[in-house]
Amino acid sequence: MISAAAFADMTVNGAGSTFAHPIISSWSENYNKMTGVKLNYQAIGSGGGIRQIEEKTVDFGASDAPLDPARLDRQGLIQFPIVIGGIVPVVNIPGIKSDELKLTGALLADIYLGKIKKWNDEAIKDLNPDLNLPPFPIIVIHRSDGSGTTFNFTHYLALVSNEWSESVGVNTDVAWPKQATTIGGKGNAGVANFVSRTRGSIGYVEFAYAKQNNMTHTTLQNKAGEFVSPDINSFSKAAANADWVNTPTLDILLNDQPGAESWPMTAATFVLMHKEQSDAATAKAIFDFFHWSYSDRGAEIATSLDYIPMPEEVVEIIENAWGERFQ
């Protein structure tokens, strides 16, 4: 690890994922106290992070949508995952508390497709016969910026709905169906804000935002047919089923993993850096920072914010790759 004396006034600049903003902020605050290194991270969305690292206006980018190997090679980039978290549906329905409303992936897709327009629709009532669902119109909240959270959300919907796959597709930004009544919010914070103040709304956010803002989340049916709640255990179960070791590029999508306890919308955040670094000191500071984030203390902070630390065998693969490129 670098010493405080060596880099006491150094500032490292990063940008991208709002999904990972809570954990990167906490890591950087703790790391700064230890080393003096300042990490300036702008939560502008994964699309913005990818754009800025490709334009070389930041030292690293962060994206919840991993880049394919061809684009990495074309741009001269490496990528590695830093943390795992969960994406959760959140609602604002008076009288409904967290974990009370059950949804399936197909229902969630139909809501965002605009096929289900009211909360007392028979399809929702049949799944929730004990709930007093109001006749409120459903207001769909989505991301207005290029977003890795949106990439993973739409990837999940495409897995569980052929209609979504064929008509909307998967991307960091999509043409949202006009049949639904929609509002766009910037970043996870923007979606959380709109859902919190809009009666009858539904949105999707990283779990830390839902928890910090005391939002009402739903349960969701997973691949095994079980209705599960979003929490550290269900995210961990999904992450544990991924075949990291046999995926050299580590660009794994964690949606719809098998297992009775797996949360169906689980995602990793990836850091993007240039292979060729003009400033060796800054590059070393970044690698030392993320090396520390994988440590016991970094993992403890991640767990406290309801993220899943990267498995030890994955960290070993990542750091071996660093050694090959930046020895």
Query: Domains plus CATH for the chain?
Result: 11-85+242-253+266-325 (3.40.190.10), 87-240 (3.40.190.10)
* pTM assigned to the model: 0.90
- Structure confidence by residue, pLDDT tens digits, 98-134: 999 999 999 999 999 999 999 999 999 999 999 999 9
Quick one: pLDDT at residue 75? 95
Q: Which residues of 160-196 are buried (b: 16+ CB within 10 A; e: fewer)?
A: bbeebbeebebebbbebbeebebbebbbbbbbbbbbb
Inform me whether the pLDDT recorded for 1 exceeds 70. Answer: no
Quick one: pLDDT at residue 216? 98
Interatomic CA distance for residues 83 and 66, integer angstroms: 13
- Structure confidence by residue, pLDDT tens digits, 46-62: 999 999 999 999 999 99
- Structure confidence by residue, pLDDT tens digits, 160-170: 999 999 999 99
Spell out where the chain has E strands.
Answer: 11-16, 38-43, 60-63, 77-92, 102-103, 139-143, 181-185, 201-206, 216-217, 219-221, 227-228, 266-274, 308-309
Write down the mean pLDDT value for the chain. Answer: 92
- Structure confidence by residue, pLDDT tens digits, 188-198: 999 999 999 99
203: Cβ–Cβ under 8 A, 6 or more apart, which residues?
Answer: 89, 90, 91, 140, 141, 142, 185, 191, 192, 194, 195
